[in-house]
Structure 1
Amino acid sequence: MRRRLGVALGVAWLCLARGLGAQALECDATSIEVRKLDFVGNHTFRSSELADGVATTQSSFARRYFRFFGKRYCLDPATVTQDSLRLILFYRNAGFSSVTVGKEITMHGPRAAHLRFVITEGRPILVDSVTYQGFEGVPQFDRLVRGIEIKVGQRFDKSVVLATRDSLARRLRDRGYPLAEVLRSFDTDTARRTASVEFSAATGPRARLGAVNVNIEAPPGEHPRIDPQRVRSVLGIREGQLYRERSLEAVKRSLYLSEAFRHVDVQVDSASLVDAVDSLVTVNVQLTEGDLRAARASIGWGNLDCLRTQGSYSNYSFLGGLRRLDLNGRLSKIGVGKPFDFASGFCRSEVQNDIFSDTLNYYAGVTLSQPSLFGLRTVPTITLYSERRSEFQAFLRDTPFGVLGSVQQGIDGPLPQSFSYQLEYGSTFSSPAFFCAVFNVCELEVQERLLARNRLAVGGWSLTRNRADDFANPTRGSVLRFELRHASRAIGSSTDQQFNRAVFDGSFYRPVFDGGVFVMRLRGGTVLGRRLSVGGSRSFVPPQERLYAGGPTTVRGFRQNELGPSIYVVEDTFTVVPGAGDTSYFRIDQSGGRLRVVPSGGDNVVIANAELRLRSVFLPELIQYALFVDAGEVWNRGGNTASQTQVRIKITPGVGVRVFTPIGPVRVDIGYNPYQAPSGPAFYSASQRVGDAVERALYCVSPDNLLPVVPGEARPGGGTALPVQARGACPSTFQPARRTSFGSRLTFNFSIGQAF
């Protein structure tokens, strides 16, 4: 009894300390300011953990270092004494029975002091035995106790004992024992520094689900519109199923998130629990309907989207059932994209000069789904859509019609996965230089075939493991995602639209310092084209399925998509170098004139990021600073030139600031790029009108290229055709001018949301 009372008092005392620590001790004119608070001798716990458990608080960073502003906190002798006792109780509950805590106060002038707690931890008490009573009839007992925190040989900690008790009770109730209770007891020998721990279970009878009663109430003045029988059919629980507490919690959470109900209550009927004969328990589901229709609209601005807007309409009980109908539409590139190119001043200069951003992007789709959060193990969804989307400096994808069907499994489990099938009829426009340099497809007739509208059928599978503590701004945990995509004729794709793609992305979050977060992120991917050769064939991969990097969410020292091989398109003039006879060579010098960069992406990518996020000392709840180092590379297997296949990891450091707003963190990052722009092939695109037709030609103009050019043939009606260049690989001999000033090596990124 005394031991239990001591534990209760200790926990209550620590809770009180945390409340006091949050309030802290403020000052008057005669008070002594706490200029510094620290702990010595604490080898087991961090100083930040101990500081959270005491009431005395040091003055804010700004006050301690600048003196003139910031929050002052002052010293109270009685509170310091109580803090010593709080620390002793904290350590004793953690297994340090002989701990001692002393306090040292060093004055720094008449009104400032340095407070130090000197801790001698001593040897901890260790667990020498863990026993379980009352678990004899529980099936698969070894799985029940798998992963339990308390183990023989580890330090005895009363909080861990309490957590283990709660975990065992929860696991029993998830294995068919709705009345399960677990008691804990322990015996410590301070002389031998050992402790024995015992857990005793009163499991009660094992039960299965009986009747599931669903009652739905309508808002005042309205009639119920949702049939209870249809709700019952999709709850994901059924009569005869083994009782699991987590299944009932998942039902409740899913019903709330379906947005069809404003009140949800899922309870076990207490009368069914006291029946000593019947092992079936009754579940009562009490619901109150909410608004079954919703419409939303928004307008905003994006770094690469210029002005954008989107709207949606949702019906949460489509056709009187529990199906959900969503109508979604969005527009982007407003201001620069035709026909809404009336306000280019709202767009960044890079977007104004991007040929793939000069057309309005849109999406219109209708989605029909069984409510995806009703606890079903398998959730079907089908979407019909039409869209036009562009990737900065890379491609423009136009899809007049598409259909996407998906099935989700285990959405309430630890590893939700999704299977999908997507069929599109559309085309992808990219620069002719891209096809010539990357795939050695320089004939315009062949390029036109690849750019023509065709079928793209993709089967996909993805697996996600989310252990992060927050969706928008995680501080601890991890998020792992693995995705596979496959397209082939066997599932409906055109001959030129076949590939296999795999991408892994993992982010890891760990709290550091006081309110800081250290983040590690790894990303890797590969894509194989139609011939599925890993040895380096020039197999074709659609531009929208290639892998790109560079920009605000990958390697921030590079502009969007510009990490890896690049192609250059000359937009003004080149030099004609005479050759033998009537041949000549088209070349540019290294100055280049006006150029347009065409990121080619690659079929392999690897990215690693490390970021330290620190709260501002002035407005810690509003502003966050970041120090980061990004590294990565994009490359091709078996490219035409060495610049496409070489792997040289680029490392770019940088700093950033985040401002937390209702729409998410507004983020500005500045990356430093010490690297020279990669060498690559240079091209010039020429065209001339012949009657009602347009004749086009693409010329390699890389310095020192050896592809001869001969004059075009004379036309019968007068005039000549465009000059003809010999076929061959365009060498990657053009090297853009090196950035010499510090400012020219900085890359600015502006976006909303954390990078990862």
Structure 2
Amino acid sequence: MKSNIFARVLLLCLFVSQAVKSEDEFFVKDIKINGLKRISQGAVFNYLPINVGERFSLENAGPAIKALFKTGFFKDVALERDGSTLVINVIERPSIAKILIEGNKDLSKEDLTKALDKIGLSEGKVFDRQVLDKVQLELNRQYLSHGKYGLKIKTEVADLTRNRVGINIKISEGRVTKIKQINIVGNTVFDDKLLLRNFELSTSNLLSFYTKNDQYSKQKLSADLETLRSYYLDRGYINFSIDSTQVAITPDKKDIYVTINVKEGAVFNVEKVKLTGNLVVKPDEMIKLVGIGPEEVFSRKAATETQKALQDRLGDEGYAFANVNMIPEINDVKKTVDMTFFVDPGKRVYVRKINMKGNTKTRDEVLRREMRQMESSWASGSKIERSKTRLERLGYFESVNVETPPVPGTADQIDVNYTVTEKASGNLSAGVGFSQTQGIVLNANVSQDNVFGSGKRVNVAFNNSNYATNYQFGFFNPYFTPDGISLGYNLGYSKRNAGQVNIANYSTDVFNGGVDLGIPLNEFDQLRFGFDVKHTTLKLPNSSSYDCFGSIQCGNRVSSEALGYIEPTSDDYIDHVTLSNTSREISDFVGEEGNKFLTFSPSIGWTHDTLNRAIFPTKGGQQRFSALATIPGSDLQFYKVSYKHQLYLPLARDLTLRLQAEIAHGDGYGNTSGLPFFENYFGGGTGSVRGFRNNTLGPRGHITTDTLRQENPNSPLLNSYTFNSSQTGRPLGGSNKLIASAELFFPVPFFAETKSVRLGTFLDAGRIQNGFGLNNMKYSAGVTGEWLSPFGALSVSFAYPINADKDRGDQTQPFQFNFGQNF
């Protein structure tokens, strides 16, 4: 094609030689361009190497024609002379009016259009037939990355009016070529199954439709070869090598066979480890960071981690550009390695300025008080990164980025620039949610987490459901003092009907007020002190009277949801029953303590928090311990202590394992025997042992006195008698709680980049009881999904109760969800 163009240029030059003869050299007084339709004259003059007022000769003709052809705008160019005027006759290339792509299924039209645009084929551009040759190559590249080796492409060009063309690209994708077998040849120590377990590429399996791991990719194979090399090097095989790799495709282009030829070599042990160079940090501190030692099997991973740990330690001392070089000395005869870590700290780097950008609403001081890196002090990599994490945990910003550019003209100073993207920190909402436990939930909330950009939080909320009605007001200042002591207080009223959430029948009206004081102990630990005043009013339901219909089965047996089955002592026919709608334990408590209580309860708490973010964390952990007790002067004397620990372990880029455990205990003291029943712990459902109905795990109350009325068939007189039932009623909760769970989180298929949605699989265990021990533990396993939707948080789980015993009253509920409430 290039030779044809060259020949064409020569012919044009010959033509020009006839039109413009050497003896006709002249000064160009004007330039006239003929044949332009879409291209402007100004665009042509920009490329033309001839200007008005210059001498024109045959020597100028060739370069001028080449320059115009090089633009790609024209398919023909000719030069003529008209007196002192240079005449340029051109024929424009057609423009692309429409590109039609047919037959594409595996790749979207948008992806293909972007790929074609990169090679210069898109609607509105000048059409060049040479570009069509590149289309085949580019589309082949796109489809080969998706395992389509049977691709066929046909292109058609149709001439349209006004010097335009339409291009039709017909694609026959063919079937996906899948990896049939991966063979590793030369391995004797580790078998293929073990080595291939770490590969990204694989033969087809149940998850291949999602992972696409059975589709060959050159990039993935390169990554797998490096994984294989690392596997051996981490186990002492220093001389391990990959000799060759063969990728073969069957003639029908349906299957691919991959063969990897390796040489394992021998295992090498570490004989000596040296730390040398300019040790600006105490050697004792540096040696502690060395993770590889004498007489151990050599591990490249351990050596690399040691190198990074040493560099990070130097970075914390201000040596931001420190280098630690690994120098292995291999003895092939003894099969040993001497490891030397050479330390070159470079110059100590100081921070000149810390700059904040993007905080148009939040005051600068709110960001700066989170800084752990100070100005005019040496730069610490860990402090700079920790400052970034603290800004992210504020919850005021969608994103936080940090840069450390060097100060121009200096070799030992940097600036630290934090750039934030603010999000709305205020919230005015009213909405409707639904919970299987609480039913329809109406809520209204006015909150501002960052009042006037000060970092203080104000909240006024109303919440109403079948279970509870809440009115709350709260204020929180995270920096009551410059040292980070926080202060908050709250006032509220709540009305709860326990019978609506699978608990024994009673209701409470509670007025409360409290104050909390938080004292930071260090970067990750905080002590919290609180004092709450609470006035509680208990309300018990009236007894219910039933004739022989509805939930009452009359005759010689009586049944109800509260009683279960009761066998009366008489064989006479029963036509009426009167039942107490509350538990004996509740009635006894009210009879002994009354139904109105004023309590004063100071509390103390400790939190250790290393989570990387507040919502959907992926690494770190959190421990919480809290204890409260009512003080003399309270109507009830009791105490409660609890401890909760959760740990997030990143297993891979998209996999996170969460381990969580919670234990709690409460009891009465002084004149109060036992923990008041309305302070009991409950288990089952979301946040506990999923698969069991909310709050149904643990002890149940007992039904109080029941009156049955019987009609004597031999007498018109109506007789009645009373008896005490030992049948169990609804859950009453317990004074001891033990909950544990293991949960593996992973992204939603096809939405891996979405950070507001995640899936998980879990194993839950727990029990609620009044004594200590591990008896009566309940277990469940299942899958879960969580979505932080614009309309509220949605949590869904499907669980299988492993050891449910319905004969003993266990109530199961495999599918559970909450909508419109926080997790």
The residue number in structure 2 matching 1:548 is 682
Q: Is contact 1:674–1:745 with CA below 8 Å preserved after alignment?
A: no
The residue number in structure 1 matching 2:382 is 246
Q: Is contact 2:230–2:300 with CA below 8 Å preserved after alignment?
A: no
Tell me which moved more, 611-620 or 90-99: 611-620
> Secondary structure at the residue paired with 1:185?
strand
Aligned runs of 1:397-436 on 2, under 5 Å? 398-409=509-520, 413=523, 415-427=524-536, 429=538
After superposition, give the CA deviation of every residue in 1:498-545 in whole Å (9 maximum; x if it has no partner). Answer: 314132334565749x977666543322223224xxxxx973324454
- In 2, the alpha carbon distance for the partners of 1:587 and 1:576 equals 16
- In 1, the alpha carbon distance for the partners of 2:821 and 2:329 equals 49
- In 2, the alpha carbon distance for the partners of 1:125 and 1:745 equals 57
2:811 is the counterpart of 1:667: no
Tell me which moved more, 292-301 or 619-628: 619-628
Aligned letter for 2:426?
A
Aligned runs of 1:430-509 on 2, under 5 Å? 438=585, 442=588, 444-448=590-594, 451-466=595-610, 471-472=615-616, 474=618, 479-489=621-631, 494-507=634-647, 509=649
Tell me which moved more, 20-29 or 419-428: 20-29
Aligned letter for 2:698?
G
2:188 is the counterpart of 1:51: no
> Secondary structure at the residue paired with 2:147?
coil
Tell me which moved more, 196-205 or 102-111: 102-111
Shift of 1:162: 3.5
Aligned runs of 1:718-737 on 2, under 5 Å? none
The residue number in structure 2 matching 1:529 is 668
The residue number in structure 2 matching 1:368 is 476
- In 2, the alpha carbon distance for the partners of 1:654 and 1:264 equals 39
Shift of 1:186: 2.4
CA gap 1:382/1:184 in 2 versus in 1, 3 angstroms = same
Q: Is contact 1:156–1:195 with CA below 8 Å preserved after alignment?
A: yes
Shift of 1:470: 9.0
The residue number in structure 1 matching 2:206 is 61
- In 1, the alpha carbon distance for the partners of 2:813 and 2:311 equals 56
Q: Is contact 2:734–2:768 with CA below 8 Å preserved after alignment?
A: yes
The residue number in structure 2 matching 1:732 is none
The residue number in structure 1 matching 2:105 is none
The residue number in structure 2 matching 1:138 is 281
- In 1, the alpha carbon distance for the partners of 2:473 and 2:658 equals 36
2:33 is the counterpart of 1:33: no
- In 1, the alpha carbon distance for the partners of 2:449 and 2:659 equals 40
- After TM superposition, the score normalised by the length of structure 1 is 0.63
> Secondary structure at the residue paired with 1:462?
strand
Shift of 1:46: 5.7
Greater RCO, CA 8 A, separation 6+: 1
Aligned runs of 1:381-396 on 2, under 5 Å? 381-388=487-494, 390=496, 392-394=501-503
CA gap 1:196/1:498 in 2 versus in 1, 3 angstroms = same
- In 1, the alpha carbon distance for the partners of 2:462 and 2:258 equals 58
- In 1, the alpha carbon distance for the partners of 2:223 and 2:377 equals 52
Aligned letter for 1:186?
P
2:351 is the counterpart of 1:192: no
> Secondary structure at the residue paired with 1:50?
coil
> Secondary structure at the residue paired with 2:645?
strand
2:775 is the counterpart of 1:648: yes
Shift of 1:324: 1.5
Q: Is contact 1:524–1:607 with CA below 8 Å preserved after alignment?
A: yes
CA gap 1:454/1:754 in 2 versus in 1, 3 angstroms = closer
Aligned runs of 1:113-262 on 2, under 5 Å? 121-134=264-277, 136-139=279-282, 141-177=283-319, 180-203=322-345, 226=363, 235=371, 244-255=380-391, 257-258=393-394
Q: Is contact 2:683–2:696 with CA below 8 Å preserved after alignment?
A: yes
Q: Is contact 1:397–1:429 with CA below 8 Å preserved after alignment?
A: yes
After superposition, give the CA deviation of every residue in 1:308-345 in whole Å (9 maximum; x if it has no partner). Answer: 43434326354xx8452322424141xx3xxxxxxxxx
2:700 is the counterpart of 1:586: no
Q: Is contact 2:708–2:721 with CA below 8 Å preserved after alignment?
A: no
- In 2, the alpha carbon distance for the partners of 1:510 and 1:419 equals 30
Q: Is contact 2:705–2:724 with CA below 8 Å preserved after alignment?
A: no
Q: Is contact 2:638–2:669 with CA below 8 Å preserved after alignment?
A: yes
Tell me which of 603, 620, 624 is aligned to 2:735: 603
Q: Which has the larger radius of gyration?
A: 2
Shift of 1:26: 3.2
The residue number in structure 1 matching 2:564 is none
Aligned runs of 1:698-717 on 2, under 5 Å? none
Gaps of 5+ in 1: 1-18, 276-280, 337-356, 532-536, 638-644, 680-735
CA gap 1:444/1:529 in 2 versus in 1, 3 angstroms = closer
After superposition, give the CA deviation of every residue in 1:165-208 in whole Å (9 maximum; x if it has no partner). Answer: 23212222323545644333222234433222222333467788
Q: How many corresponding residue pairs?
A: 598
- In 1, the alpha carbon distance for the partners of 2:451 and 2:346 equals 40
After superposition, give the CA deviation of every residue in 1:692-742 in whole Å (9 maximum; x if it has no partner). Answer: xxxxxxxxxxxxxxxxxxxxxxxxxxxxxxxxxxxxxxxxxxxx6xx8xxx
Q: Is contact 2:526–2:607 with CA below 8 Å preserved after alignment?
A: yes
The residue number in structure 2 matching 1:380 is 486
Aligned letter for 2:639?
F
Aligned letter for 2:488?
I
- In 2, the alpha carbon distance for the partners of 1:79 and 1:270 equals 39
- In 1, the alpha carbon distance for the partners of 2:273 and 2:740 equals 43
Q: Is contact 1:21–1:57 with CA below 8 Å preserved after alignment?
A: no
Q: Is contact 2:693–2:813 with CA below 8 Å preserved after alignment?
A: no
CA gap 1:204/1:625 in 2 versus in 1, 3 angstroms = closer
Shift of 1:407: 1.0
2:407 is the counterpart of 1:301: no
- In 2, the alpha carbon distance for the partners of 1:62 and 1:654 equals 21
Q: Is contact 1:456–1:497 with CA below 8 Å preserved after alignment?
A: no
The residue number in structure 2 matching 1:658 is 785
After superposition, give the CA deviation of every residue in 1:542-601 in whole Å (9 maximum; x if it has no partner). Answer: 4454322111332234321211110144899647899xxx996424597xxxx961x222
- In 1, the alpha carbon distance for the partners of 2:630 and 2:812 equals 43
Aligned letter for 1:528?
D
Q: Is contact 1:378–1:408 with CA below 8 Å preserved after alignment?
A: yes
Shift of 1:32: 5.0
- In 1, the alpha carbon distance for the partners of 2:353 and 2:446 equals 34
Q: Is contact 2:494–2:510 with CA below 8 Å preserved after alignment?
A: yes
Aligned alpha-carbon RMSD (Å): 5.4
> Secondary structure at the residue paired with 2:339?
strand
> Secondary structure at the residue paired with 2:627?
strand
CA gap 1:650/1:153 in 2 versus in 1, 3 angstroms = same
Q: Is contact 2:449–2:456 with CA below 8 Å preserved after alignment?
A: yes
The residue number in structure 2 matching 1:561 is 695
CA gap 1:177/1:424 in 2 versus in 1, 3 angstroms = farther
> Secondary structure at the residue paired with 1:51?
coil
The residue number in structure 2 matching 1:331 is 463
> Secondary structure at the residue paired with 1:378?
coil
Tell me which of 613, 624, 633 is aligned to 2:767: 633
Q: Is contact 1:428–1:544 with CA below 8 Å preserved after alignment?
A: no
> Percent identity over the alignment?
14
Aligned runs of 1:243-282 on 2, under 5 Å? 244-255=380-391, 257-258=393-394, 270=407
